[in-house]
Amino acid sequence: MMLKKIQLVATIFCFQLLVYSTQGIVSASERTSISSPAIMPYFHQVNAESKVFDFVNYKIVEDTNGFIWFAGYGGIARYDGHKIYELEHIIDEENSLQEIETRTITPDNHGGLWIGSYYKGLTHYNYQTQTYTHYPHKPNDTNSPASNTIRDIIVLENDDIWVASSEGVSYYSVKDNRFTHYRGSFTAPRSNYVIDMAFDNFGKLWLSTGTGLKILDQKNQTLRIPTLVDENSRPIPNEESNIFFRKMFRDSYGKIWLASHLNYIRVLDPETGVISKLNNDPTSGKYIHMSITQPTPNEIWVLNLSTGIEVFNAKTKTKVRTIKPDKELPYSTHSLRADVLFTDSNQNVWISYNGEKPRFHSVKQRAIQSIDFDKKLSSHEPIRLISLSEKNYLISSGKKLHLFDETSNKISRLKLPDGISIKNLDFQIKSLFRENEQTIWVGTDTSGIAQFNIQTNEGKFFSYEHLATKGAIASDFAKISDDELLISTSHGPLIFNKKSSEFTQIHTEDGKPVNVRTWHAKQLKSGAILIATVNQLVARFSRGSSFKSIASSTSAGPFIQILQSQDETIWALSNRSIYKVEILGESIRLVPAKLKNKETFGSIYTAAIDKNDHIWINGKKVYNPITGELNSLPNYNKEYGAFLRGAFLDDDGPVFIGQRGILFINVDELSPFASNVPIRAINFHSGKHSFSPSELAKGAYLSADSQEFSVKFSALNYSFSDEFKYEYLLHGYDTFWRTSNSSERRAQYTSLPPGQYELEIKARHKSGLLNKQSFKLPIHVAPKLYQTIWFKTVIAVSLLLLTLFLHKRTLRKKIGREREKANHQIALERAKMAEELIEKKNQLLADVSHELGTPLTILKLQVEALKDDIEEDVHATYDALDIKLSELGKLVSNIHQLAQSDVGIIQLECEEIEIVHFLSKLQYEMEKFIGNSGFHFTFKNELIESIILELDSASIRQVLFNLLENSTKYTQRPGQISFSAKQKDGLIQLSIDDSSPGVSDSDLTRIFERLYRVEKSRSRKTGGSGLGLAICKSVIEAQGGSIYAEHSSMGGLKVIIEWPERSS
């Protein structure tokens, strides 16, 4: 695409045209007509692949959605500016093309196509439903196409169609599903073979057949031969009336153009029956004319396989020019192997080829036009060009001047006035300057300048040879006052006084003359003058002041041009860079132009600045001083090279002069939206429904069954399709603009609330330029039944009542369930407690029975021994009986105490005691008790005196001595027993340690169980009931403490008692 290489116009505004009068130019100038230059249109290539492009194409059309369709021997393809979509041919599949080979296509009124095939008859393709309806020829059925070979189709406004076939023409009524056939009673072969059709402005249908033109006689249901005459009203001879025409085209004036096969082009006036032969080039023989189109009201393009595209004036029917293909020019038509020409609704001219990708030319966007002078002007290249008026230019070449009319594309030679005495010398014109509507100044390479009036053809030559060497070149003019011109010459700048006809050499303030080569001078809007020389800038800051030399750095290079933008910014151009000129009083500062991208200015020969303050360089690059971007134009013509001869600003933009022609750049049309293209919605779907463009004319109505939509859209500018990005907003729903890229181009919404919305779509070029048109589509979303207000009210009230009812019901059920659950839980707990109590009772009875059994047996034996006088020491026996009875009493007391603990009625007399004082009183008793047992005892108290606990001191004393007694019973002698008291982590901790033996890990967790002994044997010497530690545990826990055991560091057992700390 062209714009991919021309990413240069960030903001383009329309120019206010400067209209110059050219009255008198033609009458006062002696003209000699010479060959017209060739305007080379800019053709883009379709950058998409398709097998359709590999074969002959017969038709290009644009459907109602704006898609471009190609049809030919390779099938049918649709192009949307981005991708190719091919219609498929699937064997034995009804919902597809019946054959690939397609002879013609015509769009219907709803985005679909009517398709004519080679051998399979007529087909309709419904774009909305993606379905095919086939109408094959049936030999015994008149309600079918007259033939399976369809050559042309015309769609009427009522959707009915005319079908041209190899057996005549048929009318098909879509509403009635009825074919009506028309044939002529001709004897010549192929007389009813209709190749093409065209309606004239009077509703008459003209037909091109294998034996010439025919017209439809609908009243008599036949075809007949029309009565035609030539331009002299003479009847057309038979050999002329039987000419085979490939294509018929009705132009905007109502004339029908006829493209012949191996013959000349004809133009038919249907109103008069006059048919004119355009013998456009009788010396070149007869051509094969393939296709005709009308890109503009003034031009008819005819595709000629021998010469290229022949352009005719639509009104006068005269040939204007020929657009010749040139493979050396990348943006030309490229090849003579072309098949079809077609102009779409946006004035894009499409051309298809056999075996190559199609190309198209945008008539609206003639941003770059290259005028190629196919013959050198007077054997000299063009040197200078100035604008005389809109589309009229004065060109110099050698010593000749030429007038060029861009509108008519004509060049005429302008004879120099007799008053210019150098006209017979061997000189060349090196510069042109238009002072006003009549006065032209000419700079030469003979140390002189010439003035002539283009209306009166009077002129005069002025020499400055006395101030310069012979052959000094006048390269530029600048008007510095009403009476003075500043002339840049190869020997230095000169001031020419028009009144006195005298030249004055410029001197600097130090009195030295400026005698170096000068390329350009400019008077600024402030009145100051800047002169660009090969090694410096020379400036005069105000009238009457002296000229000053402004030395430049060696890196600046020779200065060649001075430019001033609309905002009065001054730019000095050297041969390799650009500098911003800042005038500071009587001095100048040069600031190098900033460059954003990696490109360099390269060699600079000539430049122009447009109204947008962009600087155009050599016809190849453009510099944006605001952004610092330097972008390149495409290499439009390799043969031209750079356009380096000169440049100026025309009404539309820069004009550059090259070696063989002129390059016109229209800066407005460089914008991708200069043609203000529309944005269209394509493929608008809601649910299963696909909306046609006619349905969207008044907006999209989304039914209650489908509150969603998806729409694909496109800005129909094929030249810059890949450069777009899109922004869309659903007003009334979105709070921000969404984006879609050029490949997606889709907006999609789901689950939309009912209401009125408006979808707005904008297209923006990647340079930031916004399209002037936006797409707006009203969208109405119907509410579903449950989304209506009355339904919501009924539902809300119903839900409120239902909620109250359910709440009460749920609350009652919840209370009932919780009650049942609580009762069930209580029952479970009671059952569990009962089971545990029964288990404990049974275990207790078993243990008590076992514990009481042994002493009772001993007592019985001892009593029997006493009864039988067996005991020798009666007193000792009574003492033993007394001890046993005491042990039984103690056992019963312990069981009773545990029973009280189980039911929570253990009797305690708790009081506040100072724990340190309490332990101090027990220390002596502990030491005496342990000492009498034969163990080494250690007592250690680390508690502070302020600690007070609420305890039953008697029961605590009992617990401590029970633990000490256990230690004496189970510790091997000689052993160690220790008592310690300390504070740890907020707890009061009392511990009793003893030496070996210890207990196993499994026994540590069970020694506080009732009647549990580490060894079950009742024959231990230590005796004991196994209730002591259990009683200790119940007593301690009843007083808010805890007791546990762990392995002692002394090798035995360590029992620890803890209470939470309480300070006084």
Mean pLDDT of 278-293: 69
Residue 544 banded pLDDT, cuts 50, 70, 90: confident
Amino acid letter, residue 235: P
What predicted TM-score, i.e. pTM, was given to this entire model? 0.58
**Please, are residues 412 and 403 in contact by the beta-carbon 8 Å criterion?**
yes
Is pLDDT at 10 greater than 80 in this prediction? Answer: no
The per-residue pLDDT for 549 is 86
Residue 234 banded pLDDT, cuts 50, 70, 90: very high
Is pLDDT at 622 greater than 60 in this prediction? Answer: yes
Label the pairing between strands 84-86 and 102-107.
Answer: unpaired
Mean pLDDT of 161-176: 96
Residue 1017 sits at the vertex; the CA angle it makes with 1015 and 1020, to the nearest 5 degrees, is 90
Q: d(Cα 922, Cα 395) in Å, to the nearest integer?
A: 134
Q: What is the pLDDT of residues 1023-1034, one digit of tens each?
A: 555 677 877 888
Residue 39 banded pLDDT, cuts 50, 70, 90: low
Q: Which residues contact 832 (CB under 8 A, 6 or more apart)?
A: none
Q: d(Cα 584, Cα 589) in Å, to the nearest integer?
A: 7
Domain covering 679-787, topology: Immunoglobulin-like (2.60.40)
The per-residue pLDDT for 267 is 95
**Please, are residues 988 and 1061 in contact by the beta-carbon 8 Å criterion?**
yes
The residues facing 1051 across adjacent strands are 995
**Within 542-586, where are the H helices?**
none
Query: What tokens were used for 545?
Result: 């002041």
The per-residue pLDDT for 14 is 25
Q: d(Cα 440, Cα 837) in Å, to the nearest integer?
A: 133
The per-residue pLDDT for 889 is 67
Residue 850 banded pLDDT, cuts 50, 70, 90: low
Q: What is the pLDDT of residues 882-913, one digit of tens each?
A: 776 766 666 666 666 666 666 555 677 788 88
The per-residue pLDDT for 766 is 66
Residue in the structure block whose two tokens are 């971007």: 629
* Neighbour-count burial of 588, counting CB atoms closer than 10 A to its CB (0-12 exposed, 13-18 middle, 19+ buried): buried
The per-residue pLDDT for 740 is 92
Q: Which residues contact 939 (CB under 8 A, 6 or more apart)?
A: 923, 926, 927, 978, 979, 980
The per-residue pLDDT for 216 is 95
* Residue 4, number of CB atoms within 10 A of its CB: 12
* Pairwise pLDDT comparison (598 vs 679), residue with the higher score: 679
**What's the DSSP call for residue 13?**
-
Q: What is the pLDDT of residues 813-841, one digit of tens each?
A: 889 888 888 898 888 888 888 887 777 66
The reply to whether 679-787 and 908-1060 are identical in fold is no
CA–CA distance from 75 to each of 50, 72, 296, 453 (Å)?
10, 5, 30, 64
* Pairwise pLDDT comparison (648 vs 358), residue with the higher score: 358
Is pLDDT at 1017 greater than 70 in this prediction? Answer: no
The per-residue pLDDT for 890 is 65
The per-residue pLDDT for 761 is 93
Query: For a pLDDT cut of 90, what percent of the chain falls above it?
Result: 34
> Is it true that domain 908-1060 has CATH number 3.40.50.1370?
no
* Pairwise pLDDT comparison (34 vs 853), residue with the higher score: 853
Query: What tokens were used for 818?
Result: 């919780």
Mean pLDDT of 493-499: 94
Query: What tokens were used for 176?
Result: 């009635």
Q: What is the pLDDT of residues 714-750, one digit of tens each?
A: 887 777 777 788 999 999 999 999 999 888 889 999 9
Rounded to the nearest integer, the mean pLDDT of the chain is 82
Residue in the structure block whose two tokens are 């009144």: 499
Helix (H, G, I), strand (E, B) or coil at 866: helix
Q: d(Cα 1009, Cα 844) in Å, to the nearest integer?
A: 12
Query: What tokens were used for 956?
Result: 């605590």
The per-residue pLDDT for 300 is 95
Q: Mean pLDDT: which of 488-492, 564-568, 587-591 is highest?
A: 488-492
Q: d(Cα 378, Cα 429) in Å, to the nearest integer?
A: 13
**Please, are residues 901 and 923 in contact by the beta-carbon 8 Å criterion?**
no
Is pLDDT at 1046 greater than 70 in this prediction? Answer: yes
Domain boundaries, the chain: 679-787, 788-906, 908-1060
* Pairwise pLDDT comparison (955 vs 57), residue with the higher score: 57
The per-residue pLDDT for 373 is 63
Mean pLDDT of 856-860: 72
- Looking at the structure, give the CATH architecture of the domain made up of residues 788-906: Orthogonal Bundle (1.10)
Label the pairing between strands 319-323 and 308-313.
Answer: antiparallel
**What's the DSSP call for residue 667?**
T
Q: What is the secondary structure of 957-1026 as a DSSP string? A: HHHHHHHHHHHHHHSPSS-EEEEEEEEETTEEEEEEEEES----HHHHTTTTSTT--SS--TT-TT---S
The per-residue pLDDT for 844 is 65
The per-residue pLDDT for 603 is 85
Helix (H) / strand (E) element for 939: namely strand 936-941
The per-residue pLDDT for 120 is 94
Mean pLDDT of 140-153: 96
Mean pLDDT of 61-78: 92
Q: Which residues contact 98 (CB under 8 A, 6 or more apart)?
A: 89, 117, 120, 121, 123, 134, 136
* Pairwise pLDDT comparison (276 vs 887), residue with the higher score: 276
**What's the DSSP call for residue 22?**
-
Please provide residue 1018's backbone torsions phi and psi, each rounded to the nearest 5 degrees: -90, 5
Query: For a pLDDT cut of 70, what percent of the chain falls above it?
Result: 82
Is pLDDT at 192 greater than 60 in this prediction? Answer: yes
The three-state DSSP-derived secondary structure of 130-197 is CEEEEECCCCCCCCCCCCCCEEEEEECCCCCEEEEECCEEEEEECCCCEEEEECCCCCCCCCCCEEEE
Q: How many CA atoms lie within 13 A of 444 on its CB side?
A: 25
The per-residue pLDDT for 638 is 40
Label the pairing between strands 775-781 and 700-702.
Answer: parallel
Residue 639 banded pLDDT, cuts 50, 70, 90: very low
Helix (H, G, I), strand (E, B) or coil at 917: helix
* Residue 184, number of CB atoms within 10 A of its CB: 21
Region of 82 on the Ramachandran plot (φ > 0 left; ψ -120 to 50 alpha; else beta): alpha
Q: Report the range of poorest mean pLDDT among 316-320, 415-419, 1018-1022.
A: 1018-1022
Q: d(Cα 662, Cα 660) in Å, to the nearest integer?
A: 7
